[in-house]
Amino acid sequence: MKKLLVGMLVLLFALAACTTTGGSEIEETAATPTEADLQAAPTATDEPTAEPTAEPTATDVPTSTPEPTATAVPTATEETPTEEPPTLEEPQGAGVIPEDVLLPEGAVIVFTQRGGFMGLDDTWVFYPDGRVTLNDVAQTPLSPERIDELINDLTLQGFFETTYITEPNTFCCDFFDYTLAVQTAENKNYVSYSDGDPNLPQNLLEITALMREIIEEAQVR
């Protein structure tokens, strides 16, 4: 029994010695660097050095560009055309009767009325002795005094100083186109106009009323 205990103690001491020896070897092996490790280790000279960056000089700084100055905007030289009322031909001047407007021999007034809803085409001729025709057909005669009165009224309305020439059919067909030619020993004149003309002089409206009045008198039988 004593021998057995001694043998076990010897075995334990032997194991303990082996363990201590192995651990020191492991520690020595781990702590001792090899030649390859020494060669692979980075040295102080291997560390990258920071290269100095060049600071921007005054010439590198972009200079401010001058702001554009306002330039004068060109103005249009052409004038915008204004819309004018339709005129059929240039006025020939007061006191003028066109060559194509003929008064029958001895007549003093020729008045035409064309158009309208009924499509009239009437020519009235007045003579100083009172005779009246409509499209060459005799109508109820008037007195010479009535013809003189009409010419006097036309004079007071400024007919012989009025210049107004408008071509027929300038305005809508529902309006009337008129012409009036008057020739006496002292004066003569001719006008052409439409009652649809918004620019018609006021005196021509009054003259139209005078002519319609005398026409009604000549149509009464």
| 108 closest CA partner among 129, 137, 139 | 129
Question: Residue 175 belongs to what domain range?
Answer: 109-219
Instruction: Tell me what pLDDT residue 158 has.
Output: 96
Q: Is the residue at 113 inside a domain?
A: yes
Q: What is the pLDDT of residues 171-208, one digit of tens each?
A: 666 788 999 999 999 999 999 998 888 888 999 999 99
112 DSSP β-pair partners:
123, 179
Q: Is the residue at 101 inside a domain?
A: no
Q: Is the residue at 203 inside a domain?
A: yes
Mean per-residue pLDDT of the chain = 74
- Rounded Cα–Cα distance for residues 52 and 37 (Å): 33
157: DSSP letter: T
Q: What is the pLDDT of residues 135-171, one digit of tens each?
A: 999 999 999 999 999 999 999 999 999 999 887 666 6
Tell me if the pTM is above 0.95. Answer: no
- Rounded Cα–Cα distance for residues 177 and 141 (Å): 25
Residue type for position 91: P
What CATH number corresponds to the domain at position 119? 3.30.1560.10
134 DSSP β-pair partners:
124, 137
Q: Is the residue at 63 inside a domain?
A: no
Cα diameter, the chain:
193
Number of domains in the chain: 1
Q: Is the residue at 137 inside a domain?
A: yes
Q: Is the residue at 60 inside a domain?
A: no
Q: Is the residue at 210 inside a domain?
A: yes
Of 1-10, 26-35, 89-98, 203-212, the one with minimum mean pLDDT is 26-35
